[in-house]
Chain A
């Protein structure tokens, strides 16, 4: 059900590309953090995202991807960004806040209001399908 629009604005077109984290991936793997990758960066990216990469390595890079402001911590703002991108803005503001609070509740073990790499790794290594979803096949 639902009416499909036939004319897209520029922002909507942006949204309709597939991966919500594509810009972050480019930024994380690029040489100088601005999204431009050399061949070696490109190879690095595929090496990390391949299925033979070890778990810890993937966890490390996943952390960097989800850390939007590059401050080595996933703070509440980063979480909000992640949720909004994942749901393409379908959740209301209070639902987004609830989700972020719950995530911090669950994973933040030193109670400083943000996730450090250790917290993140602690949590992600228990996830059953992390390896299968954080995976790009050529």
Chain B
């Protein structure tokens, strides 16, 4: 049999293929040749064949039949064979295949080989893809090599140890003695990898952390030498000496200085020095400054240093390099809570970044802008944000609109300004507004009594030509129904008064009903509005009667029901009509479902009123709401169709926002509102809709999977009824500890969440202990509590992660 073709030859040949099919054919032919060669146990060409296989694997073709061959190559004595063999192992094998364990013995031998390059290959392979079993078996060898004086091997052993610790955290202790003199090395490679190893150990164990704090002076010294020493050609990058090492040292200092006054004090000077002396003309200098800023902000630095850090970030914002700007915005977002005033000083630069072309920068600038809005700058900021809303990409509009509403609610300087702002949002991004915004806005409008005429006029004008933006049309319809009398009487002094007749108003509402752009919910709003106008208008009552009776046979069940009942109002209960359709009272912001409110709003069908808290947009009706409907006699409920969540780009700067990606829903397909049965006249009992808070709120099991159980217990604050304090207890019923446990939670935007520090990060096995953590939830609107949780932990040597929704909160915890 002729010698198998050479690697480069094969590559050349395959590249001549003109079509995918041709390439596939060549590959299959060659694979067949390689297979038979393998079967013949040919030692001479095994290396060549595996190399070719690796190339074909990179092109996307299956290469698993070469796995065992890689092992044979590793076992060979020839260096070339080992080189290709280990490469093959790293590319084709992973810990999922049992085959990989066969490598262990070879690696063990090679770790003790006489040639350092062979030892290097073994260390590299173990450090890149060693499984937990392999790591357990070979940790001793790695530890030995960590103590060698050969710096080539020592640096590799250090990173290999890092990998071992990541895979099998329990083995961390055994490397402790070897770390004794690591920082005394002159060799930068060893220094760098040692710092990485120390960082890994300190991050994983508070004991190690306190143990290694004594290294701070030495680290400071090394860093100082790097900065002060002259030009060192071997490690120089654009005039800076070993930036990689500088950055890693700064990161280790961050971990050591965190929460520790003495260590922070000891590193104060060097941080100031680095911050002021580092050359900023190239990326490498800025990389060091960036790390320095992160460290300054995280340790207990003095205020002067912190201001210095923020100013560096401010300068970054003005940098032409958009990478630097991006990094600055990310860091500012992290620090805006703690150093708010300092960040405020850079507000105008941040706002300018809203106009950046890069999407990631825009998003960060938007988040930061919302964090910086306050009572003083609201007018100016809002102008910028509204302009941004107008011109930004669709993926931002929903978040931006929500953010604007929130900010406006908190800081509006006047009611008129507030309403104008809302109008602006509705008209520019009306279809991106979230569903729960509509009832909020309606409630806001009812509260500004002097603005009713102004508002309804503006809304009327806004939808005159265009019914496509559903939330806008919904709010407008509702207002026209409620304040139609003001609209036609042109009581509004502020705007140029427009002459509107009853007919014109009804024209619009009827058009909304007919338009095929109108969602079912919108039609509901329009029909009810028309009905309400029967008491507010004088000349057009017959027209209204006609419209209402037409819809009595509508295919849409919701509309049909309403129309039939309104018809009944006209026919049988005409004497009650004016009372029923009276002007709405001002709605309470902190809403409850108290019986008295229902009596007041008798007969009104607006879901926004009856269920005086905004209906949960799109998610399953709560069992609470169902109970209510059952109490009042099973009327038809429009099925609530959950809308598809938008896929939000994950934002690294805010994990909470990321977790909320599914809770926030697009308003493009607004969910039908949960409709309360319209007729409460029949058999309305003044049954309280929630139980009095009994002594003690039942606790719930929020999560239980894979042996991890998380329970929530609740307490309500006596001083602030909007605060719920949740204590979580995480327990572990498996036979191995769960380490590095991190609990994260996200709630819908109308809530606020505060997570206090957990009791520890390790959940001992066999339920022998728990992690407790306190969550404070602020729920001013008394909305039903929902939470999404993210759990990350290490268990049995692998990293675990899970997302879950908690929906079983007892009503006493949030009402």
Same complex origin of A and B: no
